[in-house]
Amino acid sequence: SRPHIVDVIAGDGIGLEVVPAALRCVDALAEQFGFAVTWRDRDWGSERYRRTGAMMPEDGLARLADGDAILLGAVGAPDIPDDVTLWGLLLPIRRAFLQYVNLRPVRSLPGVPGPLSDGSGIDLVIVRENVEGEYSEIGGRIYRGRPEEAAVQETVFTRRGVDRVARFAARLAASRRGGLTSATKSNGIVHTMPFWDEVVAGAVERINHSGPETPIRLRKVLVDALAADLVLRPREHDVIVASNLLGDILSDLASAVVGGIGTAPSANLNPEREHPSMFEPVHGSAPDIAGTGIANPTGQIWATSLMLDHLGESTAAAALLAALEAALASGVRTRDLGGTAGTDEFTSTVLDHLTTTTEELSDA
């Protein structure tokens, strides 16, 4: 079969350190499992902005359109306003390629303690709406130069936009333990949220009607209470569906509960596969540690495993995740997880385990 075409945007900060770590892993896997990847390296990001005044070329999106997937590191630099960097690169990709599902699995990792408990036994997935909601481009304006300065932005939930992400989340729940929590704020204050609730409930009802593997038990939970519940009872959650902003906040919270945001992956999916999907860690460019070689590549490597799965290389994807878990279990860990290893040492440990776990997988 032909090589997979993957656009690589390492971007900014620790993206430039954790993306090469992930590529080392894929190159080893490609050899072991006999597939090929054509990497299209894109030097897009803040350095390009400083040089040319643009985060990516004018026809950047068109250049990505015929690829099979996009692997992204992180975007953001302390000397450039975030709205410039993010609207110049990350957000246009999510929107142009209709990556309306942002899939963020959160699982206990072997040997990685949570800050609150041993962190074990947690296995949930956040399905975050990724192209509309509170991140809408409608009405965003700051009214200056008048006595009452004000900033206004419209939250936009479309029936189609909420329904498609809710259906995705519901089907995912039906293939797992059947639990679906919808994060809401519909107690009469955020006026768009009762509509979110209505569309989510309708989508779940339709899927339950079609006779899924496991009937879906939908619970709508006010997001403030849900934040507390994720800390107190994280094991009771299966799939969580949330709007763009609420899902963003809940995903950092949930990943911290299992040990830290350095471990969390994120898949920006166009489920219809009409456009490329994008895979990245949940964390950002971490300017406070960039350039020091201590960044945890776990989130990036896990995101890369999700990408391999999406590309149809499911055995390689499973082998990579198994090697990552084995490396963590072996006690070699980066500083954010209480260890002493740098990015390269940890990545080498993952590579060491790739060969051994691959043998175990093929024996099984």
Looking at this protein, which amino acid is placed at residue 142? I
User: Does 103 contact ligand IPM by CB under 6 A?
Assistant: no
Whichever of 69 and 216 has its CB closer to ligand NAD, that residue is 69
Q: How far is the CB of 9 from Mn ion (least distance, A)?
A: 17
Residue 221 token pair = 């939970």
Whichever of 134 and 336 has its CB closer to ligand IPM, that residue is 134
Q: Which residues contact 337 (CB under 8 A, 6 or more apart)?
A: 112, 259, 260, 262, 263, 296, 328
User: Does 61 contact ligand IPM by CB under 6 A?
Assistant: no
- Residue 346 has φ and ψ, to the nearest 5°, of -65, -40
User: Does 303 contact ligand IPM by CB under 6 A?
Assistant: no
Closest by CA to 105, choosing from 195, 270, 239, is: 239
Contacted entry of Mn ion, ligand IPM, ligand NAD, none for residue 288, CB cut-off 5 to 8 Å set by kind: ligand NAD
Q: Do residues 266 and 307 touch, judged by C-beta distance below 8 A?
A: no
User: Does 129 contact Mn ion by CB under 5 A?
Assistant: no
Contacted entry of ligand NAD, Mn ion, ligand IPM, none for residue 286, CB cut-off 5 to 8 Å set by kind: ligand NAD
Contacted entry of ligand NAD, ligand IPM, Mn ion, none for residue 336, CB cut-off 5 to 8 Å set by kind: ligand NAD
Q: How far is the CB of 208 from ligand IPM (least distance, A)?
A: 30
| Pairing mode of beta strands 123-129, 101-107 | antiparallel
Q: How far is CA 170 from CA 121, 127, 159, 236, 260, in A?
A: 22, 10, 16, 17, 27
Distance CA 109, CA 182 (A): 25
Whichever of 20 and 92 has its CB closer to ligand IPM, that residue is 92
User: Does 248 contact Mn ion by CB under 5 A?
Assistant: yes
Contacted entry of ligand NAD, ligand IPM, Mn ion, none for residue 74, CB cut-off 5 to 8 Å set by kind: ligand NAD
Q: Do residues 186 and 220 touch, judged by C-beta distance below 8 A?
A: yes
Which position among 248, 313, 325, 336 is part of the footprint of ligand IPM (CB under 6 A)?
A: 248
Distance CA 359, CA 364 (A): 9
Residues that bind ligand IPM (CB under 6 A): 86, 90, 248, 282, 284
